[in-house]
Structures are given as structure tokens and as C-alpha cells.
A and B are shown apart, each in its own frame.
Chain A
Amino acid sequence: MTTVSKSARDFIAPHVRGLPKSGIRDFFDIVAGRKDVLSLGIGEPDFKTPWHIREKAIASLERGATRYTSNLGTPELRQALAAYMRQSFHAEYDWKSEILVTVGVSEAFDIAIRAILSPGDEVLYHEPCFVAYAPLIRMAHGVPVAVETFRKDEFRLTVEELEKKVTPKTRVLMINFPNNPTGATLDKKDTESLADFVIRHDLILISDEVYSELTYEGGRHSMASIPRLRDRLIFLNGFSKAWSMTGFRLGYVCAPAPLTDAMMKIHQYCMMCASSTSQIAGLEALQNGEADIAEMRESYNLRRNFIVSSLNGMGLDCFMPRGAFYVFPSIQSTGLTSQEFALRLLNECNVACVPGTAFGTCGAGFLRCAYATGMDQLKEAMDRLSAFIKSL
């Protein structure tokens, strides 16, 4: 009997083979290598990590603090996180059993979803959204079910839309506010009605609040502040956005002890622990970094005002987002698709923005512009964008 040997491609699991590459990645490949590009496509803060945080990390390396830590994270960091949760959200979490330090929020979401999904379980998530949610749900053999959010609602998630998509197979609602890519936030009324929805349908809620420190007005309304959700909430947060620590890859999850324990099992086998250097840096951020956040937030706020005013001034409809560092203007008035607009803007004016469709099909007609970039570049980018609009 003859056997035909498999090609490398044949070894790839079908559910991974079927995963689309990130639309951001596609666009990155187009932009990569080009010179003089003004990029509003960067989803990370432009500030350097505050010096006292870097200095603490350097000092820890000098004294050789480079060992594995507890799987859950160092006791000092978890205690500081428990205090932060109490102070910021009036939420009580036991640092010994209910807080787990992860390698960024992406890992936190991955282990959360793997800990609770059985094959075929449905997860409601809203679009436009961060690119990782649906693929991670698929990799956990779950079924991602997108729920649209709309410009008319300033991209808030509404229970009305959720009710259209919920089925007996729905296990999880996944939300991310303040939102990447729209900058949308939730107000108190929204969080309360989402909480009711989750309880009514007996779901688990995963709330990624990594941008929560970057809320400019209207107050921060965390799902962690709603006591009746406590037993069914997996709260995700991290250090990347608040303290400009993206490369440290440091996040955490707060959840009831049985869920934390389940996530810990996955985390301990696949990750062991978050980087010890990063955990030391994170502790410094929590203990002495309040002023850093205030300063960066103030700076983002000014840029937000500038970019929203500029975009509306050139005829691109853009609501004033209350959080994160993104604006999500409509380019429908130009008659171009998001992809066409972004490509022409890049080719003709050397300005990179990400087409809204990279964040879900309902991002069609929109563009994500990140304003986590210096005022000089922002001004130049707005000048070029304005000239581009006039040339159409």
C-alpha cells in the first residue's frame, strides 16, 4: 500500500486553518517599509513608560530578581491590585484566590474563554471591536456571535441588539468599553441594563476594561462596580494603556475563586507566570503611578478635542468619544469604501489610518484614527487628510 505523505499545510488543524488573518496585519504589511508615513494606525500609547517604572525594572534586573514567580503573580502585585480594584471600582477581590496576573489582557481573555467554553457554546461580542476576540473564541472551539453597534448610539452596546442574537446556546457576553476602535464608553444606565441582560439569560460576562483609566468625561462605569454581577463576572484589565507599558505584556483577571482557579490551571501550564521584571514594574505603577495617568490622560484629552474638531471641520462626521485614544469618523460622505479611502490616503498622502472593516463588517464606512501620537504629527496628518478630502 502506498501512502501519500502530507504537506506541512495538511498538519494545520482545520479550525486554525480557517482563521482569517487580522485585517490590521494586512494593512500593516502594506504600510511596512514605507518611509515618511504619518501613522494614525498605532493602537498603543506614544508616551514612553514613565521613568520611575522603568527605573524600578532596571534595579530589579541589577539585583537579579529574574526568577519564576507564583503562578498567580507575586503576592505584592496581587495585593496592590486588590487595593486598586477596591479604590477604583469599589470591588472586593481576595488577592489570594481571585486575582491572577497574566501576560497581557490577550492572555487573560484567552484563558478565560478556554476555562468556560465547551465546543459549540456561543459567545456574544460586539462589533466593531478589537481584532482578537472572535479568533480566540474560535480557537477555544466556541462560536463567536457578533452583535452590531451603531453610530446613532455612539457605538454603545444595546440590550435590544443583544436580544436579537441570544440563543439557548449562548454562554458568554464579552464586552470592551472604553472601546477600541470606536472610543465608545458605557454610562451607568448601560452597565445596569447589560447586567440585567446577563443575569436574565444566565450568562457569564467577560469585561475587558483595559482602557478604563482613559475615560475623559461622563465618569468611569465599570461592570466590576455592580455587586449582583460578582459571581458571573470575569474582569480583565492591564497596564499597557494606563501606564504606556505595552511591551511589558502585563495584564490581570479578577473573578470568583472557582473561575480564577480554572483559569490558573490553563495559565500555569501554558505560561507558568508573567515576566518577573514586568510584575515589579507593574507594582511600581500601581503604587506610585497615579500622577502619570493623570498627565497622559490630560494630554490625550487635548488631542481628542483637536482631532474631533478637525475631522468634523473637514466634513467627516465624528462623534466625541469619551474614552480610549481612538476616533472613528464616518467617511461615507466621500463615497469611498473604508478600504479604498485608507489605501488612497496612504498612497496619495502618506497617512495611515485603519479601515473600519478591520474591526468587523459593521465598521464599513468608518476609519479608525488613533490620536496616541504627538501633536505635531497629528496636525500634519489632519492637514494632509483635509487636502485629500478636498481633492476627491
Chain B
Amino acid sequence: MKKVLEGSMAISDSIRMTEPKVISAYPITPQTHIVEHLSQMVADGDLKAEYVMVESEHSAASVVLGASACGVRTYTATAAQGLLYMEEVIYNIAGMRLPVVLTVANRAVSAPISIWNDMQDSMALRDSGAIQLVAENNQEAYDMHIQAYKIAENPEVMLPVMVCVDGFVLTHTFEVVETIDHIEKVREYLPPLNMKYTLDINNPFSFGTVGEPSVYLETRFRLSNAINNSKSIIVDAANDYKEMFGKYEGALIDTYKMDDADTVIVAMGSVLGTIKDVVDELREAGKKIGVLKIRAFRPFPADEIVNALKNIKNAIVIEKAVSLGKGGILSCEIRDALYQRRINSVNVNGYVMGLGGRDITPKNIYDLIIKAEKEEDVDGEFFGLNNELLNKVF
């Protein structure tokens, strides 16, 4: 049914449909509404789950780790400093191969303190072994959480999935979302969790014990294979979802008006909406331009990206994150993927924009396109700076 929902409400409703048994979270802006709604659902009896109150994000992640190891479906959500505080536990969840799903309401990291949106928080966990999917709008956020469990719980995967949703820009925006009317359909798409190894007093196993030098390399190799091989499972999850619910927002990547394009803007998350509107206007004016959406950031869909970009001239990468001391993250990985395959005809320029909630306007995007097409090998240049402010002392 089509409804007008706040992003957080859409996400919590989608989680309700997946019927997790244990939810644990510590409130942090802009994630708060999501877990408030879930807590209300549990209190009202609309969701039969245990909602565990904790004193920190580290504990929240630890609760879902423990519960997941017992073989039940679990959920948590966080943002920014909260995610950084969870980081240690998330590496453990991945290493123990537990199918936890968590929402990251993407927010800038301190200092300075910023409650506003960018993707520096989830990028800090890119090497953790957690799958990272990024939603473009609230419909996709709704659909993606259901797909996330399908991917995480696949016996070949068994990994945490982070669903990245732009804080405020999506979590606090009301828009039209089509929800699933019948929970039975979700149960059909997402059968009950059935883990091969669980914490069971009648059949004891240990999780996360010491991996001596004689075995550690192999366990990490298998973890690495599991996340790399999850690409096909992510694609299947998207296709099966389309078949059952009629919604498809891409799988690993998605292309928009790229057929004949000379220039392509590459981005992740909610900024894609504004970019697509700009691209429509430029197309009407006769410019051959398209958009490449990265929907799965981990595993990194290198083959799919190269395949999509190999015949174009300019790739303009817009990212709301930066690797301090290096430059662009997404742009660097795209350039690496092209280099590995010996494709040197694509001019990749990467720009850092919108950090800490700085609004990205259509004019910013027009201005960037004009500038980027004249440049080469830009690696994470900050775009949209207020030069007046830079001349002042901080």
C-alpha cells in the first residue's frame, strides 16, 4: 500500500516485516526515530521481539552478536560515533560469520561535532567484512532491509549487512513509500533463519576463539571469499524481490541514461535523486550524460563498474566521504578497478562534497560537471568550499 512515511518509519516498518527476535540499540541522532518506532512496536505487541536496552553502542552490537550466535534474527541501528564505537564488535560479528542486519543512519564524525549527514562513518568500516548497501530513497531503504536479511542469512554468505541510509536527508524525510501488505509474502521471500552452528548447550560450539598463526590466515581467506562471493547473492536477492514484490532499484549497481553517454556521474545514496534531475535537464539540452549508482559498496562490484564505464570519456565521482591523507575513496577504487583491467581511456575525477550536511544543490552539480570535464586525475578534491571562511582563523 502506498503511504506517506518518514524514512525512519519506513525502515522500522520494514524491520517489523522481517520479524527479528532480538533488537538492541542505543539512541543516537539521526538514527533515534527508527529504534523509537521499533521499541513502540514491541511494547504494543505489534512485533514479537525482545528489545534490549543498553548503555552504549558497543553493548548494543554485543547483544545482537550474542543473540545472533544463538541462532535468532537480530537488528540494530546506529550512526557516526556510535558506529565507530561498535566497530570492534562488528569486526567480530563478521569474523564469527553472524548474519546481523544493522542500519547506519549516515552521519558525519567528530570533531567538530556534527549531527548532519555524510558517509564518513560507514566508510570507516569498509574493511570490516560487513556487506555495505546504500539506499537512494526511502522506498529503497524499505526494500533493502528485507533484501539485507536474505543476503546475510544465505548459508554461503553468513555475514553482517549494513544498510546505509543518509541521516536526516532520508531518515527524517516524509515521502511516498509503497509498503508490503501481507507479512506472509515476506515470510515466503525470507524463510526463517536456519543456522548450521549456534550457541546451544546441548551441542556446544565456541565462537570467536583464538586463531593461532596456523589457522588465522585461512579463516580470513574464507571470510574474504564469503564477502566476494556474496555479489551473486545480492543480485539474486534483488531479482527475487523484483519478482515477488515488483520493486527493483538495482542490485550491485544501477545505470541511468548511460546508453550513448560520454560523461557519467558516479555516486551513492540520496544525492543520486538530485543528480538524476540535473541529468534529465542536461539530456533535454542535448548533453550525452548519465548516472552510475553504486548500490553495493562492499563487496565492491569492480567488474560491473568497469563494464558500465569502459566506453565513456569522463567519470565524475561525487562522494560524501574522504580518506584523510589519501583523497577520494570511491574514486580511488574505481580508478584501481579500471587500471587492473588495463583500461586507461576513462578520465576519472573524484570530488568530496556535502560533508557534515552541506546541502548539495542542482547548481553545485552543474558547476561541478563543467569543471570536471576540463580536469584530469582529480583525487578527492573538496568541492563547494566557502573561500571567505577559509581565510578566517579556526
- Pair from one complex: no
